[in-house]
């Protein structure tokens, strides 16, 4: 239903997209990002270079996509999955934290690569924009479909994305400075904390929107923001 636009077409497309980003990441890891031409990626994925940028509008985007995956859909799904009585703020915060807390054992070196190269870092941060629309729909579904709510949902989703961006910026700058300063590469385990801290200031807005819907009461609480 949701993904059922067409059968074979969409399937092949997805396969190509995945082949491209996988190849991009693999090559970037093997030779270093600067020694990877677009043509190489295209060749590795078995398509023409022109087709490559039918899928990605920059080389960085392709590499990063291998790591970000389908995060946008997962965040939205996570929000939708939370029971309706937990309060919008908590639902969103936990959903986001869950999805960005990547126990990416496999993609750990990929992240190291990304955090190292400025261009990749920018693309990585920029990729969070993708959650806006799915998240807006998820929030709208919780808050109500009224035109008024629709707009609020969009704004809140954009704000959440912005907050995530800020958190990632902090995380990355902290990482780079720790690398620069000491020899120690802090694994930056505090991303979840940074995310919570960045999202906390938005909680009042989210809760206000939540409260303004049809009329549910909610209990605050267990997340304990302080």
Partner DNA sequence: ACGCAAACTTGCGTGCGCGCACTTTTCTGG
Partner DNA sequence: CCAGAAAAGTGCGCGCACGCAAGTTTGCGT
Please tell me whether residue 165 binds a second copy under the rule CB under 8 A.
yes
- Provide the minimum distance between the beta carbon of 113 and a second copy in the complex, in angstroms, as a whole number: 24
Phi, psi of 109 (to 5 degrees): -70, -30
Site string for a second copy, 175-204 (x = CB under 8 A): ----------------------xxxxxxxx
39 belongs to the binding site for DNA (CB under 7 A): yes
- Contact between 209 and a second copy by CB under 8 A: the answer reads yes
125 touches 166 (CB < 8 A) = no
- The interface partner of residue 4, options being a second copy, DNA, none and the CB cut-off 5 to 8 Å by kind, is none
* Token pair belonging to 37: 């031409």
- Is position 10 an interface residue for DNA (rule: CB under 7 A)? yes
> Which of 188, 186, 222, 225 minimizes the C-alpha distance to 204?
225
Nearest Cα to 72, choosing from 167, 145, 136, 141?
136
| Residue 158: CB minimum distance to a second copy, A | 4
Pattern 124-163, a second copy, x by CB under 8 A = ---------------------------xx-xxx-xx-xxx
Of residues 79, 97, 81, the one with CA closest to residue 139:
79
Geometric angle at alpha carbon 131, from 28 and 63, rounded to 5°: 5
Whether 123 and 61 have beta carbons less than 8 Å apart is answered as: yes
Say whether residue 36 binds DNA (CB under 7 A).
yes
- Report, in Å, the least distance between residue 163 CB and a second copy: 5
Nearer to a second copy, 29 or 119 (CB): 119
58 and 126 in contact (C-beta within 8 Å)?
Answer: no
Q: What DSSP state is assigned to residue 33?
A: G
| Rounded least distance, CB 206 to DNA, Å | 34
d(CA 156, CA 140): 10
What residue ranges bind DNA (CB under 7 A)? 6-10, 12-13, 16, 36-39, 47-51, 53-55, 57-59
What residue ranges bind a second copy (CB under 8 A)? 151-152, 154-156, 158-159, 161-163, 165-166, 170, 197-205, 207-209
């Amino acid at each position: 239903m949701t993904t059922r636009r067409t059968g074979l077409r969409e399937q092949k497309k997805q396969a190509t997209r995945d082949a491209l980003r996988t190849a991009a990441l693999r090559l970037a890891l093997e030779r270093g990002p600067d020694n990877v031409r677009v043509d190489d990626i295209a060749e590795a994925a078995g398509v023409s270079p022109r087709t490559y940028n039918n899928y990605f509008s920059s080389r960085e985007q392709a590499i990063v996509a291998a790591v970000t995956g389908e995060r946008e859909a997962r965040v939205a799904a996570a929000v939708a999955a939370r029971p309706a009585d937990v309060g919008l703020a908590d639902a969103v915060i936990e959903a986001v934290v869950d999805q960005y807390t990547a126990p990416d054992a496999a993609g750990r070196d990929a992240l190291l690569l990304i955090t190292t190269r400025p261009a990749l870092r920018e693309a990585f941060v920029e990729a969070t924009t993708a959650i806006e629309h799915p998240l807006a729909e998820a929030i709208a579904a919780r808050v109500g479909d009224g035109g008024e709510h629709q707009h609020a949902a969009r704004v809140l989703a954009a704000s959440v994305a912005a907050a995530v961006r800020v958190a990632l910026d902090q995380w990355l700058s902290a990482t780079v400075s720790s690398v620069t300063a000491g020899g120690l590469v802090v694994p930056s385990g505090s991303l979840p904390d940074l995310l919570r801290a960045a999202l906390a200031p938005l909680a009042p807005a989210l809760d206000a929107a939540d409260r303004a819907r049809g009329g549910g009461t909610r209990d605050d609480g267990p997340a304990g923001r302080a």
